Each structure stands twice: as structure tokens, then as C-alpha cells.
Structure 1
Amino acid sequence: MAIYAIWNNKGGVGKSYLTFQLASEYARQNRDKRVLVIDMCPQANSSSMLLGGMVDGEERLTEIHSSQARKTISGYIEDRIRSPYMSPNSGAGYITQVSTHNNRIPSNLFLVVGDDQLEIQASRVTSATFPGPQDAWRIVHIWIRDLIADIQASWNDEDCCVFIDCNPSFSIYTELALTAAERLLIPFSADGSSKRAVKAVLSLVYGVRRYQGYPQSDFFLETTRYRMALPDIYMYIGNRLTQMNSSSASAFKTVDNEIGDEIWGVWQSSPQTFCIHPNGSPTPSSRRAFKTMFQYEVNDANTASIVSGALGIPIASLTAGKKNLAGKIITVNQSQLDKQVPNITQLVQNLE
């Protein structure tokens, strides 16, 4: 089993869109595996896309959120707030088979639905880390790991792959997601703020000091104290990049190189922070080999990207032609699909 968290300490880099595409394509390519998405973002955007998109998906989200038994991530968190230091082993009751709501999604893909109540619960989760046993912080921070273990046990420990969609803010529920993950995918966009955000990821999670004497995060200090495993950096992904002319391509390359330099510096000092892939591959010995292994670029499919998410149709299954989007006819061109489909297909082939 592999558990991937998709996170960057910056909004607008397409974490939820990437989660939707990667999980759907992984399920399509690996029909013999169960695929699980855990939506840890209060906006529940990846849940909306998986359940059918901007109209149908939102209606299904409303139905799920309105049910008396809240079959969402917040429902599970509520279970854990009531039983903070001993798992109720209830996680399997919170999964939804996505294809029962959206037949565009492979039947082997399952979802723990996102919920905006995570924001309201955050302070109650944080308060659970203070009373109780001496290692209360550690116990609370493995709640999502317990959730995954419950679900995997209900699947008789069959091989599966998990994708966790994270919120950009470094809140308690983001911390829970990261302590559950084994591998970290870091999306970024081609702008200067993405460089700062990548620095923040390295600082908050891995304790890389941004400035001399800069304090390290409580999360890093506590995970170190309890000797808890942190997710290995698996790949950083330039997401939905637009390169329309030589100047934009040059601008992207400059930003891309700056971000790459940051992570290359971490590799040189702490290579154990990274996950060598695929298994058995030689350790990168040069900047070029490092970039080949740990960097990937996903082009923007423009209108096709928007239609894919808005209709809940994975980009690899979307066809060219006219589409009805909230009562308006939108045309998807094959050239748009050709920009992104190969990227997503190949990227998933690099996931183990």
C-alpha cells in the first residue's frame, strides 16, 4: 500500500484538481487495486469533482452532508473526538463508492467525503492533544492513520493506494493528513509565491530553517520527539502550466529552476527525506538525474481542464466536442486534451 498526500502551503496550485485526476487515472490503470481518496480539505473540491462536478457533484455533496448519519471525514473526526485516545475502529463506515454517484469514475475508487465542518472541529481536535495520556499529541496525530487501517482491514488487507487531498493552511487537520501519509506530492505553479510556499513546506514539515536562528514548527519538533515517520518527498509537480510563447516558457523555466534549487539543496543535505522511485532505481548523483526523478510538469488543457472538473469526467476519459456545462454549450478541442492527457497518464505510471 502507498499513501500519498497532495499538499503545498499555497492555495491555487490545483491540489484538488490533481487529486481528482491522479486518483481517477490510477484507478483506471490499476483495476485490480482499490483506490481511496481522503478529502481533508474543508472546501471538499476533490469530493465535488469525483461525485459529478460543479452541479451534480455539489448536489450529491449536499445530500451526503444533510444525512442524519454524516458519512464524511467530519463524521469520523467526531467519532475520534468522542474517543480520542482509543480507536473506535469505525473508519470503514465512512467510505463511499464513487461510481454509485458518478459512473464516469472506475468502480474501484472509494472516497471519504470532504466536509466544511473540519474548520469548526479544528479547535476541538487541537484541545484533545493537551489532556489525557502523556503521549496524547502522538495519539491524536495518528487518527487518519487509524482511519486508513480500519478501511484496509475491511478490505481484507488487499493491495490499495491512498490519495489524501490537503488544505493549504497548516492546520491541525493538515498535520493529521501528513502524519498518515508515506509520500508527499508537492504541486506548484509558475510564480514567485510558489517558491516561498515550497520553502514553507520544507520548513514546516521537515524543519529546514529558512533563516539563521529561525524557529522550527511544533509539528516538526513533536514528530521528532515521538520518532514519528514523516512523508518522504516523492515528486514536485508543476501543475496546469501554460507556455503560450517563448517569453512565458522562459519565465516558467526561471521559476522552475529556482524551486528546483530549493529542493535540490534539501536533497544534498538530507537525502533521506526523499523517496527513491521506482524501487531499485539508483540514487541520483547529479542535478539532472535528481530533476528527472523528482520533477514533473503537467500542462494546462485550458477549457478541457475546466470542463473535466466541472462535469466530474476525468481528463483521460473526456472526449472532444460540445459539452453542456450548467446550461451553456462549451466546446472541448482535441488539441486541448492532447496537452494534458499524456501528462496525467505518464505521471500515474510513475506512482507506485
Structure 2
Amino acid sequence: MAIYAIWNNKGGVGKSYLTFQIASEYARQNPTKKVLVVDLCPQANSSSMLLGGIEKGEERLTDIHTTSPRKTISGYIDDRIMSPYVSPNSGSSYITNVSQYNNSVPSNVFLVVGDEQLEIQSSKVTSATFSGPQDAWRIVHLWVRDLIADIQSSWNDEDCCVFIDCNPSFSIYTELALTAAERLIIPFSADGSSKRSVKAVLSLAYGVRRYGGDPQSEFYLNSNRYSMSLPQIYMYIGNRLTQMNNSSAGAFKTVVNEIGEEIWNVWGGSSNLFCIHPNGSSTPNNRRAFKNMFQYEVNDANTASVVSGALGIPISRLTAGNKTIAGKNVSVNQTQLDKQVPNIVDLVGNID
């Protein structure tokens, strides 16, 4: 089993869109494996897309949120708030087979549905780290890992793959996701704020100081204190990069290269923070080999990208032609699909 967190300390980089596409495509390429998505973002965007998009998906989310008991991530968090330091082993009660709601998604995709109530619960989760036994911080930070272990056990420890869609801010739920994950996928967009946010990821999660006297996050310090493993960086993805005229393409490329330089510099001093992949690959010994292993780019498919998420149809299954969204006709061109589908297929082919 491999567990991936998909996170950037910034909204708007297409984190949930990538979670939807990667999980769906991974399930298509690996039909004998179960694929689990844990939606830890209170906005539940990846859940909405998986369940059918902005209309059907939102309706299905509402139905799930209003059913008692609450079969969502918040339902599980409620269980843990009631039993913070001893696992109730209830995680398997909170999985949903996505294809029961959306037959455009492979039948081997399962979901722990996202829930806006995470925001309301966050203060109680944080409070639990400061009370109870001496190692309360460690126990609470393993809640999501316990959830995944419960689900895997209910699957008789079959081989599976897990993708965690994280809250963009560095909240308590981001911390729980990072302590559950073994590998980290960092999406970014080609702008200056993405460069800053990638630096923040490296600082908050791995203690990488921008300047010598910078303080380190409590998460990083406590992870070391309790000898908790951090996820290894698996890939960083320039997501939905725009290809327009030569000048704009050049500007985007400059930012992508600067972000790559930032991560390359971390490799130079802390290569142990990275996960060599695919299995059996040799360790990169130069900048080009490093880039080939860790840096990926996903082109913007323009209208096709929007339609894919809005209808809950994975991009590799979306067809060209007229589509109806919110009562309006929208046209998807094959050239748009050709921009992104090969990127997603190739990217997922490099995920173990």
C-alpha cells in the first residue's frame, strides 16, 4: 500500500482537480487494485467531482451529509473526538464506493467523503493534542493513519493505493494528512505566489529554513520529538499550465524553473526527503535526471478541464462534442483533450 498526500500551502493550484484526475486514472490503469481517496479539505471539491460534478455531485454530497449516521470524514472525526486516545476501529464504516453514484469513475475507486463540518470540529481536534496522555500529540496525529488502517484491514490487507486531498492551509487536518502519508505530491501553478507557497511547504513540513534564524514549525519539531516519519517528496506538478503566445509561455517557464531550482537545492542537502521512483530506478546524479524523475507538467485543457470537473467525468474518459452544464451547451474540442490527457496518463504511469 502506498499513501500519497496532495498538498500545497496555497489554494487555487488545482489540488482537488488533480486528486480527482490522478485517483481516477490510477484506478483505470490498475483495475485489480482498490483506490481510496480521503477528502480532508472542508470544501470537499474532490468529493464533489468524484460523485458527479457541480450539479449531481453537489446533490449527492447534500444527501450524504444529511443522512444519519454521517458517513463522511466528519463522522469519523466525531468518533475520534469521543475516543481520542484509543482507536474505535470504525474507519471502514466511512467508505463510499464512488461508482454507485457516478459510473464515469472506475468501480475500484472508494472515497471517504469530505465535509464542511471539519471546520467546526478543528478546535476540538487541536485541543485533544494538549490534553490526555503524555504523547497525546502523537496519538491524535495518527487518527487519519488509523482510519486508513481500518479500511485496509476491512479489505483483508489487499494491495491498494491511497490519495489524500489536503486542506490548502497548514491546518490540523493538513498535519494529520502528512503524518498519515508516505509520499507527497506538490501541485503548483506558474506564478510568484506558488513559488512562495512551495517554499512554505518545504519549511512547514520539513523544517527547511529560508534564512538561518527562521523558526521551525511545531509540526516539524514534534514530528522529530516523537520520531514520526514524514512523507517523502514524490513529485511536484506544474498544473494546468497555460500555453499561449511565446512571451507568456516564457514567463511561465521561468517560474516553473525557479520552483524547480528551489526543490533541487533541497535535494542537494537532504536527498533523504525524496522518494526514488518508479521502483528499481537509480538515484539521479544530475539536474536533468532529477527533473525527469520529480518534475511533471500538466497542460491546461481549457474548456475540457472545466467540463471534466463540472460533470465528474475523468479527462481520459471525456469525449469531444457538446456537453450540457447548468442548462448551457458547452463544446469540448478534441484538441483540448489532446493537451491534457497524455500528461495525466503519463504522470499516473509513474506512480507506484
Q: TM-score range by the shorter chain?
A: over 0.9
Structure 2 Cα separation of the partners of residues 237 and 135 of structure 1: 35
Q: Aligned with 1:115: secondary structure? A: coil
TM-score normalized by the length of structure 1: 0.99
Partner of residue 178, structure 2: 178
- Superposed CA offset, 1:198-246 (max 9, x none): 0000000000011121000000000000010000000000000011121
Q: How many percent identity over aligned positions?
A: 79
Partner of residue 81, structure 1: 81
Structure 2 Cα separation of the partners of residues 286 and 255 of structure 1: 21
Structure 2 Cα separation of the partners of residues 159 and 205 of structure 1: 28
Equivalence map 1:1-352=2 (5 Å): 1-352=1-352
Structure 1 Cα separation of the partners of residues 306 and 183 of structure 2: 27
Q: Aligned with 2:346: secondary structure? A: helix
Structure 1 Cα separation of the partners of residues 291 and 78 of structure 2: 42
Q: Aligned-residue CA RMSD in angstroms?
A: 0.5
Using the TM superposition, give the Cα deviation of residue 191 of structure 1 relative to its aligned residue in structure 2, in angstroms.
0.3
Structure 2 Cα separation of the partners of residues 34 and 212 of structure 1: 45
Using the TM superposition, give the Cα deviation of residue 278 of structure 1 relative to its aligned residue in structure 2, in angstroms.
1.0
Number of residue pairs matched by the alignment: 352
TM-score normalized by the length of structure 2: 0.99
Using the TM superposition, give the Cα deviation of residue 320 of structure 1 relative to its aligned residue in structure 2, in angstroms.
0.2
> Which AA in structure 1 matches 2:232?
D
Q: Aligned with 1:201: secondary structure? A: helix
Q: Aligned with 1:284: secondary structure? A: coil
> Which AA in structure 1 matches 2:166?
C
> Which AA in structure 1 matches 2:196?
R
Using the TM superposition, give the Cα deviation of residue 281 of structure 1 relative to its aligned residue in structure 2, in angstroms.
1.0
> Which AA in structure 2 matches 1:74?
S
Using the TM superposition, give the Cα deviation of residue 280 of structure 1 relative to its aligned residue in structure 2, in angstroms.
1.6
Structure 1 Cα separation of the partners of residues 127 and 194 of structure 2: 32
Structure 2 Cα separation of the partners of residues 256 and 238 of structure 1: 7
Dislocated runs of 4+, deviation >6 Å: none
Structure 1 Cα separation of the partners of residues 326 and 252 of structure 2: 33
Structure 2 Cα separation of the partners of residues 324 and 188 of structure 1: 30
- Superposed CA offset, 1:9-67 (max 9, x none): 01100000000000000111111000000000000000000000000000000000011
- Superposed CA offset, 1:245-304 (max 9, x none): 211111111101110111011000000000000112111111111111000000000000
Structure 2 Cα separation of the partners of residues 260 and 347 of structure 1: 17
Structure 1 Cα separation of the partners of residues 217 and 130 of structure 2: 17
Structure 1 Cα separation of the partners of residues 79 and 242 of structure 2: 44
> Which AA in structure 1 matches 2:339?
K
> Which AA in structure 1 matches 2:326?
A
Using the TM superposition, give the Cα deviation of residue 120 of structure 1 relative to its aligned residue in structure 2, in angstroms.
0.6
**Structure 1, unaligned stretches of length 5 or more?**
none
> Which AA in structure 2 matches 1:43?
Q
> Which AA in structure 2 matches 1:342?
P
Structure 1 Cα separation of the partners of residues 281 and 202 of structure 2: 24
